[in-house]
Amino acid sequence: MHSFHYHNGELHCEDVSLQTIADTYGTPTYVYSANTFRDHYTRLDAALSEVDHAIEYAVKANSNISVLRLLAELGSGFDIVSGGELYRVIKAGGDPAKCTFAGVGKTREEIEYALKQGIYCFNAESEAEVVFIDKVAGELGLVAPVALRVNPNVDAKTHKYISTGKSENKFGIDFEFIRDAYGRAAKLQNIKLRGLQMHIGSQLTSVTPFIEAVEKVAPLAADLKGLYDIEFFSIGGGVGIVYDESLDSGKPEWWANQLEDKRPLTIEQYCAGILPHLKGLGLKILVEPGRYIAGNAGVMLTRCLYEKKGTAKTFKVVDAGMNDLIRPALYEGHHDIAPVREPADDTTETVDVVGPICETGDFFCQNRPLPNFDEGDVIALLSAGAYGYVMASNYNTRGLPAEILVDGSESKVVRPRQTVEDIVAAELV
């Protein structure tokens, strides 16, 4: 569910016209719905109510400080993968004691910073990392809380770039080695074993891999609780969102009309599938959602600059590029595209929507039937709230887009558009 819909002939975010936002703030621009963030968080929280749990929002999905503040106000914890993300959380008013620090390549500076801020736990991805955390903590006269990440060797059946739970992936410690790794970690003087962590991948659209992973790892978590008195089991994130028919999926009737075997995975189905395997563990269950909370809470607005008709294709050239939203180029990621002005009928034209970047891979769709839009018209790339702005770059010396947060009838700039002067300022030394 989300809060993007047509009203009086224009696409709205909650009660604010996206045409008005584009005309006021320019394009390309990211627009986020505060109430969609709230709805997704509270629905997940309610679905997990049968177990002691904590939600650790994955900051990498969307790290805007205003977004983090909104989630912190709801009581969220945070899954971070860098010292910079921890800094953002603290600036947003988040509690370091509710932060788990993941990632395979933590540096000394990051470990020291996280220890001094009092984070809840490091999710260590290798035994070498545990040894290094022990060394750094000892030099600071501190004890480091640590959970080891187990790689359960479960196929998430998602894109190879976002699959993390197979033995050939770089993440975690092989399931066959994890018990011995805990035994060695328990002997380190400056380590407190606090939990067990896993994460099998992102954008999973079936509950089956989640159940398979939990069934395999839950007995291990129970054993580790008995041996080392760990207090939590983090099952990661990865629940997929609706990318196809994204706009329609904001309506309850769309979900009601889906055939049972075609209906996208809901958070209620996800929790119903995994909770029976977690209830009896006596451990706090941590989840680390990112895309689920942020993905359908945002769109990117871009304006059509030109139409170019060739012998093979019709191109719609827009003012956003792969530097602004790289998912289609990087992952072949799909984003539905909707004209901000509501189409008068169902007429479509098969087009490529492309950007100004000097790369053939700079496209948002290819050979896709879309409602007609003309030069000067604004379109919205839907489901862009996760892994959109956070992966943007200055390629071709293009300034980063603006970010707007809508809350009811109010909209505010939560990050201004970057200028060329901003880009080069640090180089003029």
Residues known to be catalytic: 358
Tokens 């180089």 found at: 427
Q: Residue 401 and residue 67: Cα distance in Å, rounded?
A: 16
Locate the DSSP E strands across 251-347.
284-287, 298-309, 314-318, 337-339
DSSP string over 155-168? ---S-GGGB-SSTT
Q: Residue 149 and residue 152: Cα distance in Å, rounded?
A: 9
243 is known to lie in a ligand binding site: no
Sign of CA dihedral 240, 245, 246, 251: negative
Cα Rg, the chain, nearest whole Å: 23
331 is known to lie in a ligand binding site: yes
CB atoms under 10 Å from CB of 11, counted, come to 25
Q: Which two tokens stand for residue 109?
A: 């500076």
195 phi and psi, to 5 degrees?
-170, -170
Q: Which two tokens stand for residue 385?
A: 């709230």
Q: Residue 389 and residue 32: Cα distance in Å, rounded?
A: 11
Residue 209 and residue 175 in contact, taking contact as beta carbons nearer than 8 Å: no
415 is known to lie in a ligand binding site: no
CB atoms under 10 Å from CB of 363, counted, come to 19
Q: Residue 165 and residue 277: Cα distance in Å, rounded?
A: 19
96 is known to lie in a ligand binding site: no
Q: Which two tokens stand for residue 164?
A: 């993390």
Q: Residue 353 and residue 373: Cα distance in Å, rounded?
A: 11
161 is known to lie in a ligand binding site: no
Residue 408 and residue 391 in contact, taking contact as beta carbons nearer than 8 Å: no
139 is known to lie in a ligand binding site: no
Q: Residue 19 and residue 341: Cα distance in Å, rounded?
A: 8
Q: Residue 72 and residue 99: Cα distance in Å, rounded?
A: 11
My answer on whether omega of the bond before 276 falls inside 30° of 0, hence cis, is no
289 is known to lie in a ligand binding site: yes
145 phi and psi, to 5 degrees?
-75, 130
238 is known to lie in a ligand binding site: yes
6 is known to lie in a ligand binding site: no
Q: Which two tokens stand for residue 151?
A: 């790689």
Q: Which two tokens stand for residue 298?
A: 């945002």
Amino acid at 227: L
User: Closest Cα partner for 389 from 293, 314, 324, 292?
Assistant: 324
Q: Could you tell me which residues are annotated as the binding site for pyridoxal 5'-phosphate?
A: 238, 288-291, 387
Q: Could you tell me which residues are annotated as the binding site for substrate?
A: 291, 327, 331, 359, 387
Q: Could you tell me which residues are annotated as the binding site?
A: 238, 288-291, 327, 331, 359, 387
